[in-house]
C-alpha cells in the first residue's frame, strides 16, 4: 500500500472566500497556520479549529479541517469538550483580545489552569474590530474609539501576564507578519503536551492601524524586539550589542552594554516563571518587547488526567444516532 502523499499548505486552505479587510494581519496568520499544518503533517480529519466571535473567529471557515464557530468567549469550553470526547484530535482555539479576555476571560482562565491539551492562538490588535472599533481589554490608556471618544481610562490587560497568573505552562508571543518567529512558536505550541498559549500581535488596519509600530516597524525592530531562546543570552540590538541583566536593588531587568557586561547578561530559562513575568512586563521605548517562547514547563495535561481517572470513558462512546434513539430516560417525580 502506497504511503499517503505529503499535503501542502494549499491542501489546508478551504474554498471559502476569505473575508477580512484588505491589509488585515489575519491574512498573514492564516497563511502561516496552513504552512505549519503542512510542515508538521497534520491530518485534516483529525484536526479541529474552534473559535468564538470576532474577526479572528472567522479563521475556521478558511481551513480544510473540522471547525466550530461557537458563541462569544466560549471557545475554550467547547474545545475542552471536543478534546475529552476524542483525545486523539489536534484541537486549536482561535480567539481575540476581546473574545478571549473580556466575555471569555473566565473560560480562558480555567482551560489554562487545567492545562487542557489545546493550541490557543489569541489575536491581539488592542481593539474590537468586528463591532467597529470600541476599546478592548488590551487597549492602552487614552485610546480614542466610538466607545471612548475622550480616550479610554481603563488600565489594559497583559495577555501573557494573565496567562501566567492563570497557571499556564506554555506562553509565547509573535508578530503577525514575522513569518519566521510565528512559525517557530506555532510549531513549539503544536508539539507541547498541554495548553499552549500564543499571543499574536495583529494589526487592525481600519480601527487601530500601526498600534504596534513602536516595535514592529522595520527601522525600529532591531532595537525594540528581543527574540528569546532557551539557554541563550537575552541580547538584542545591532549585532547583539545590548543585553538585559537583573537590577538587584529593584529586582527588575535593566538594559546594559552586552559586550561590556557579558557576564551579567541573563540567559533565558523558559522554565523560570519569575523570569517569564519580568519578560512579559517589558515595554518600549525603554525596553524591547520579548518574543518567542517565554515560558514552557512540562506537566500532565488535563485530558491525560481525565482519561486516567476514567479508563473506560472512550469504550462507552456511542454514535449520536444511538444516543438520540435511546429509550431509557430518567424521571424525576
CATH code where residue 202 lies: 3.40.50.970
In-domain check, residue 286 = no
Tens of pLDDT, residues 187-236: 999 999 999 999 999 999 999 999 999 999 999 999 999 999 999 999 99
Backbone φ and ψ for 182, nearest 5 degrees, come out as -65, -40
Tens of pLDDT, residues 86-113: 999 999 999 999 999 999 999 999 999 9
In-domain check, residue 163 = yes
In-domain check, residue 205 = yes
Give 178's contacts (C-beta < 8 A, 6+ positions apart). 291
High-pLDDT (> 90) share of the chain, %: 87
Residue 325 has pLDDT above 80, yes or no: no
- Name the residue among 9, 28, 51, 21 with its Cα closest to residue 200: 28
Q: What pLDDT is stored for residue 258 in this prediction?
A: 97
Round to the nearest angstrom and report the end-to-end CA distance of the chain: 59
In-domain check, residue 124 = yes
Residue 146 has pLDDT above 60, yes or no: yes
Q: How many structural domains comprise the chain?
A: 1
Pairing outcome for strands 47-51 and 90-96: parallel
In-domain check, residue 154 = yes
In-domain check, residue 239 = no
Residue 314 has pLDDT above 80, yes or no: no
In-domain check, residue 97 = yes
Tens of pLDDT, residues 251-302: 999 999 999 999 999 999 999 999 999 999 999 999 999 999 999 999 999 9
Backbone φ and ψ for 291, nearest 5 degrees, come out as -130, 155
Q: What pLDDT is stored for residue 311 in this prediction?
A: 76
In-domain check, residue 137 = yes
Supply 278's cell numbers. 519580568
Q: Which domain holds residue 86?
A: 9-211+300-306
Which helix (DSSP H) or strand (DSSP E) does residue 308 occupy?
helix 302-309
Q: What pLDDT is stored for residue 59 in this prediction?
A: 97
Amino acid at each position: 500500500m502506497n504511503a499517503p502523499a505529503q499535503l501542502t499548505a494549499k491542501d489546508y486552505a478551504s474554498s471559502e472566500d476569505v473575508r477580512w479587510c484588505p491589509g488585515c494581519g489575519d491574512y498573514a496568520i492564516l497563511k502561516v497556520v496552513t504552512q505549519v499544518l503542512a510542515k508538521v503533517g497534520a491530518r485534516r480529519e483529525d484536526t479541529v479549529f474552534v473559535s468564538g466571535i470576532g474577526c479572528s473567529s472567522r479563521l475556521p471557515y478558511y481551513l480544510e479541517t473540522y471547525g466550530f464557530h461557537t458563541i462569544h468567549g466560549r471557545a475554550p469550553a467547547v474545545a475542552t469538550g471536543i478534546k475529552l470526547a476524542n483525545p486523539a484530535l489536534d484541537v486549536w482555539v482561535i480567539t481575540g483580545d476581546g473574545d478571549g479576555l473580556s466575555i471569555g476571560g473566565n473560560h480562558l482562565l480555567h482551560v489554562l489552569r487545567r492545562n487542557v491539551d489545546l493550541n490557543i492562538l489569541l489575536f491581539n490588535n488592542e481593539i474590537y474590530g468586528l463591532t467597529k472599533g470600541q476599546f478592548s481589554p488590551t487597549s492602552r490608556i487614552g485610546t480614542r474609539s466610538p466607545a471612548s471618544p475622550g480616550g479610554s481610562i481603563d488600565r489594559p490587560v497583559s495577555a501573557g501576564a494573565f496567562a501566567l497568573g492563570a497557571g499556564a505552562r506554555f506562553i509565547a508571543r509573535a508578530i503577525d507578519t514575522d513569518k519566521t518567529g510565528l512559525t517557530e512558536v506555532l510549531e513549539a505550541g503544536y508539539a507541547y503536551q498541554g495548553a499552549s498559549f500564543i499571543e499574536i500581535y495583529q494589526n487592525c488596519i481600519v480601527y487601530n492601524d500601526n498600534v504596534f509600530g513602536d516595535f514592529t516597524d522595520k527601522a525600529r525592530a532591531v532595537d525594540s524586539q528581543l527574540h528569546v531562546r532557551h539557554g541563550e543570552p537575552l541580547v538584542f540590538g545591532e549585532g547583539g550589542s545590548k543585553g538585559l541583566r537583573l537590577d538587584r536593588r529593584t529586582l527588575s531587568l535593566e538594559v546594559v552594554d552586552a559586550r561590556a557586561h557579558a557576564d551579567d547578561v541573563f540567559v533565558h530559562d523558559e522554565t523560570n516563571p519569575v523570569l517569564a513575568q519580568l519578560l512579559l512586563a517589558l515595554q518600549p521605548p525603554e525596553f524591547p518587547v520579548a518574543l518567542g517562547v517565554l515560558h514552557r514547563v512540562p506537566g500532565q495535561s488535563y485530558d491525560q488526567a481525565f482519561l486516567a481517572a476514567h479508563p473506560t470513558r472512550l469504550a462507552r462512546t456511542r454514535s449520536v444516532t444511538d444516543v438520540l434513539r435511546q429509550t431509557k430516560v430518567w424521571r424525576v417525580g
